[in-house]
Structure formats: structure tokens, C-alpha cells
């Protein structure tokens, strides 16, 4: 496998007025092409900040992010984000029109966008719903549509920030299965943020554990696919992950750590 993403020593500090808040501090890791990586940790530990930096939405204070050898400087279709919110589509366009809109913005050729849009709708299990509007769909269907639109621009990296956080448990199980099928079929590389340990275990190859803005550990998932939640190996891996997470605490960086970052960045 080839290395796709290299994150080297990145730090992001937010400044609101006089106050500085460390989003993430000195984070380094690599992602191989085709990998499914989760980022897990308590609320406020910097998961979204990390994803936003990789997407190019945030300017980092130090460090480097490289995708396929190119430095990340701004948002580009090579890195597509799917958010938690259920209203990510233009409400005045149908599902199919939303997908075609995204494809046309990226692909200037006069390809057969209709056919391609149908392919992506089918891929996420929404065949037959191309003429529906977002507001006519359930939460799960909206997230499927957001994934179809994201994939239609053929990103190298799909960034998913708690995309299924507002779905019920039944809908989640079905959408997990769909996402795994899509991942296997397209070979897209995924970084998936969650605070749900079972979701991270069910989906990913590698789990990055965050706490207080820092990367605390990188855990390889040893379980074969498909992952059965009642298997003994599953339960013991879940226990291992939860005890690792429990050792960490939630909240902001303490003032000592913040001063260390400030000194390093020479504000
Ligand atoms: P998570 O996604 O893990 O809940 P975030 O990345 O959203 O965590 O937040 C990490 C830290 O950065 C938190 O302390 C949060 O309050 C702070 N933060 C996030 N976004 C901003 C912002 N735009 N301005 C100031 N502070 C922010
Ligand atoms: Mg978040």
C-alpha cells in the first residue's frame, strides 16, 4: 500500500479575542491509500479541528499536511467532508441534481453526468430516489445522499465528522454496512471521526485516540471483517480500547501546556 496522507507535527491554536485555545497540538501520523481510519476521543479533544485542518478549512500554526506529496493549503475536491448535520444538500435541487451540480463543478468535460449520478445513487442504496428533494427523505437517506455527492467528485480522501451521530441505532447499522460496501467497492480512503467506540471498531482498520488536543495512541484493529459484536475477540478489544480511553480525561489543555505551545510558536 502507498502512503496517501502525511500529517507532521501540526498544531492549531484558535484565537478568540485575547483568549487562545489549543485545538490540537503536535499531531503526527500517516494514512495509507485505501485505509479506513477512525479518530476517537471525548468531546472537545480536537477531532473536528484535525479534520478541518486536513480539509484545508483551518490555517495551521505549525507543521505540515501532505496529500499524495502535495501540501494542503486550501479546500480542494481531493478531500471531501461529510458532516453530522442532516441538511447538506441544496434544498431547491433534487438528489440527482445535487450530485450533478458537484460533479460539474469539478469535471469540466461534457461527460454523461446523468448516468454517473445514477451510479452513485445506486452505490449508496438510493436508486429510484434521484427525483426526490432532501426534505422528502429520512435522516439516514440524507446522509446516504451526502455520501453519494461526496464520492461523485472522486475524492482521494473522504473526511467524515460524526456523520451518523444523529441517526438511531437501527439506521446506523444499515448505513455502516452500506459505507463498508462503498469503501470496498471504490477503494476510497476514509478518516472517520466518532466518539462511539463500537462504531470505530466496526468500521476501521486503525484507531487514533485523542485526548486534550493530543494524539494519545494509534491502535491497530486486529479483528477480521465482518465484525461480530458478540464475538469474544470483539468484546476483549472493546475492553482494551475503553480502558485506554478511560485513562484520559476531557476538557481543555491546562495552562502549563498552553504556555508551552505559546512559547514554541512565539506568539
Ligand atoms: P471535538 O470535535 O473533539 O469535540 P473540537 O476540535 O471541536 O473538538 O475542539 C477542540 C478545542 O478547540 C475545544 O477546546 C474547542 O472549544 C476549541 N475550538 C474549536 N473550534 C473553535 C473555534 N472556532 N474558535 C475557538 N475555539 C475553538
Ligand atoms: Mg467535533
Fold of 3-78+156-265: Rossmann fold (3.40.50)
Could you tell me the pTM of the whole model?
0.92
Residue with C-alpha cell 485505501? 34
d(CA 263, CA 267): 7
Centre of ligand 2 from the C-alpha of residue 47, in Å: 5
Centre of ligand 1 from the C-alpha of residue 23, in Å: 5
Nearest CA to ligand 1 atom 1: 44
Centre of ligand 2 from the C-alpha of residue 46, in Å: 7
Centre of ligand 2 from the C-alpha of residue 115, in Å: 35
> In ligand 1, which atom is closest to the CA atom of 252?
14
The SS3 of residue 239 is helix
Centre of ligand 2 from the C-alpha of residue 48, in Å: 4
Nearest CA to ligand 1 atom 21: 14
Task: Pick the ligand that lies closest to the CA of residue 50.
Answer: 1
User: Ligand 1 pocket by C-beta < 6 Å: which residues?
Assistant: 14, 16, 21, 23, 41, 43-49, 252
pLDDT at residue 259, rounded to an integer: 55
> In ligand 1, which atom is closest to the CA atom of 21?
26
d(CA 46, CA 246): 17
> In ligand 1, which atom is closest to the CA atom of 161?
2
d(CA 14, CA 17): 10
pLDDT at residue 263, rounded to an integer: 52
| Other Cβ atoms within 10 Å of 244 Cβ, number | 17
Per-residue pLDDT tens listing for the chain (267 residues): 799 999 999 999 999 889 999 999 999 999 999 999 999 999 999 999 999 999 999 999 999 999 999 999 999 999 999 999 888 899 999 999 999 999 999 988 877 899 999 999 999 999 999 999 999 999 999 999 999 999 999 999 999 999 999 999 999 999 999 999 999 999 999 999 999 999 999 999 999 999 999 999 999 999 999 999 999 999 999 999 999 998 874 444 455 555 555 555 543
Read off the C-alpha cell for 187: 477503494
Centre of ligand 1 from the C-alpha of residue 45, in Å: 7
pLDDT tens for residues 143-197?
999 999 999 999 999 999 999 999 999 999 999 999 999 999 999 999 999 999 9
Domain ranges for the chain, please list them: 3-78+156-265, 88-154
Nearest CA to ligand 1 atom 23: 14
d(CA 172, CA 162): 11
Amino acid at each position: 500500500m502507498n502512503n496517501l496522507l502525511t500529517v507532521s507535527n501540526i498544531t492549531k491554536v484558535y484565537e478568540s479575542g485575547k483568549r487562545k485555545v489549543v485545538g490540537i497540538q503536535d499531531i503526527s501520523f500517516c494514512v495509507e491509500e485505501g485505509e479506513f481510519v477512525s479518530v476517537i476521543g471525548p468531546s472537545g479533544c480536537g477531532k473536528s479541528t484535525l479534520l478541518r485542518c486536513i480539509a484545508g478549512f483551518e490555517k495551521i500554526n505549525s507543521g505540515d499536511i501532505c496529500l499524495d506529496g502535495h501540501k494542503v493549503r486550501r479546500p480542494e475536491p481531493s478531500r471531501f467532508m461529510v458532516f453530522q448535520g442532516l441538511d447538506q444538500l441544496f434544498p431547491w435541487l433534487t438528489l440527482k441534481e445535487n450530485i450533478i451540480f458537484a460533479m460539474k463543478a469539478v469535471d469540466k468535460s461534457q461527460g454523461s453526468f446523468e448516468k454517473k449520478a445514477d451510479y452513485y445513487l445506486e452505490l449508496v442504496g438510493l436508486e429510484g430516489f434521484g427525483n426526490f428533494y432532501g426534505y422528502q427523505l429520512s435522516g439516514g437517506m440524507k446522509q446516504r445522499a451526502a455520501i453519494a455527492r461526496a464520492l461523485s467528485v472522486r475524492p482521494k480522501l473522504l473526511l467524515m465528522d460524526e456523520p451518523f451521530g444523529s441517526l438511531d441505532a437501527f439506521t446506523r447499522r444499515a448505513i455502516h454496512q452500506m459505507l463498508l460496501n462503498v469503501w470496498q467497492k471504490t477503494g476510497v480512503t476514509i478518516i472517520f471521526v466518532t466518539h462511539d467506540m463500537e462504531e470505530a471498531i466496526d468500521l476501521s482498520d486503525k484507531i487514533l485516540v485523542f485526548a486534550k488536543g493530543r494524539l494519545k495512541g494509534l491502535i491497530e484493529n486486529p479483528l477480521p471483517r465482518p465484525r461480530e459484536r458478540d464475538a469474544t475477540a470483539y468484546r476483549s478489544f472493546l475492553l482494551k480500547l475503553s480502558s485506554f480511553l478511560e485513562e484520559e480525561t476531557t476538557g481543555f489543555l491546562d495552562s502549563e501546556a498552553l504556555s508551552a505551545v505559546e512559547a514554541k510558536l512565539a506568539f
